[in-house]
Amino acid sequence: MKDAVAAMLVATACVACSSGGAGMTPGGAVTLSAIESHKMPASASGPIAIVAGNDGALWFAAFDGNSIGRISTSGALSVFTVPSPSCGPDSIAFGSDGALWFTELDAGKIGRMSTSGTFTEFALPSRGAEPDGIANGPDGALWFTEQNAQSIGRISTTGAISQYHIPTAQGNPGAITAGPDGAVWFTEFAASKIGRISMEGAITEYAVPTPNSFPSSITIGPDRALWFTELSGGKIGRISTLGAITEFNVGEQSGPTGIAAGPDGALWFLVGGAVDRMTTAGAITSYPTNIISDFNGIVAGPDGALWFTNRDANSIGRLPTR
């Protein structure tokens, strides 16, 4: 589904490779020389999701390269090939057991990899489940979405799996994150809803005010609300833990994708050919990067910078925030 929807997005030129630089200009813009782009060692690796590890590095899932990668804050890259061929590593999370956990969209599995590169894979009971997003839950287990099975899954660090069907048929759950309220929150791409699931499996759904907005990414914000991107709606949404939704326009044709809370108390997201910063009051500053739009991920790194994947340019980007 992701490749099909990616055709809706606006394509721009690839980011130019650079090695750090001037940072913010006096007017607040980021110069292209300050934006780093680290090319993958293998062609067509397709990094798509990224997470900060507990080892001071960033870890990512490379969908097209069938691998899990690590990049240090100085740009040193390591790549580990997943045992199952053509499994489509799609999303990645750092688990409570100190390992990396990831979804295998095309293989119907959940993968686990130690930081030294040892893999374990767990097959899901639903045939053609298409696991997509994954997050470390408040209970120490990993919670994930299953697009085709229309379910939310839970896997313990020992591999025990539970599944919970969402109420809306063909809602297509996608991104997922732990909330500040002891529950897990997720997007329903096709249904244009935001879902909440308790640790006992009780699911509540909230309709996004903009119809056919295709919410695609979600994160916990600095204000303890959940923030999400609307791929087709051209908006950033905020939902309180009580279900109240506010939307902020970022441009009808912008197609915002990944979103993360930054180290500066703002939200950062990928949109068109830029990385945008938005305060919790909705004020937006745009930093052009010439990246190609796709289902890319973004995360705050241990070095105070924003790190993002660029699947189409086959690279990992770094944006300084100071």
**pLDDT of 87 strictly over 90:** yes
**Does residue 29 or residue 301 have the better pLDDT?**
301
According to CATH, the topology of domain 2-19+44-319 is: Methylamine Dehydrogenase; Chain H (2.130.10)
**Does residue 29 or residue 132 have the better pLDDT?**
132
Gap between the Cα atoms of 61 and 70, Å rounded: 9
- What pLDDT does 9 receive? 34
Nearest to 95 by CA among 130, 62, 120: 120
**pLDDT of 229 strictly over 70:** yes
Element (H, E) at 2: helix 2-6
Q: Are 188 and 195 in contact (CB under 8 A)?
A: yes
pLDDT (mean) for 42-52? 95
By mean pLDDT, which of 76-80, 157-161, 268-272 is the weakest? 268-272
- What pLDDT does 315 receive? 92
**Does residue 148 or residue 35 have the better pLDDT?**
148
Mean confidence (pLDDT) of the chain: 88
Percentage above 90 pLDDT, the chain: 77
**pLDDT of 40 strictly over 70:** yes
- What pLDDT does 85 receive? 97
Task: Give me the DSSP letters along 57-97.
Answer: SEEEEETTTTEEEEE-TT--EEEEE-SSTT--EEEEEE-TT
Question: What is the pTM for the complete model shown?
Answer: 0.90
pLDDT (mean) for 55-77? 97
How does pLDDT run across 168-197, given as a tens digit for each residue?
999 999 999 999 999 999 999 999 999 999
List, as own/partner pairs, every contact residues 73-82 make where C-beta atoms lie below 8 angstroms and the sequence separation is at least 24, other chains included: 73/301, 73/302, 73/303, 73/305, 75/19, 75/36, 75/38, 75/318, 77/38, 77/40, 77/41, 77/316, 79/40, 79/41, 79/42, 79/45, 80/113, 80/117, 80/119, 82/111, 82/113, 82/119, 82/121
**pLDDT of 15 strictly over 90:** no
pLDDT (mean) for 290-311? 85
pLDDT (mean) for 74-100? 97
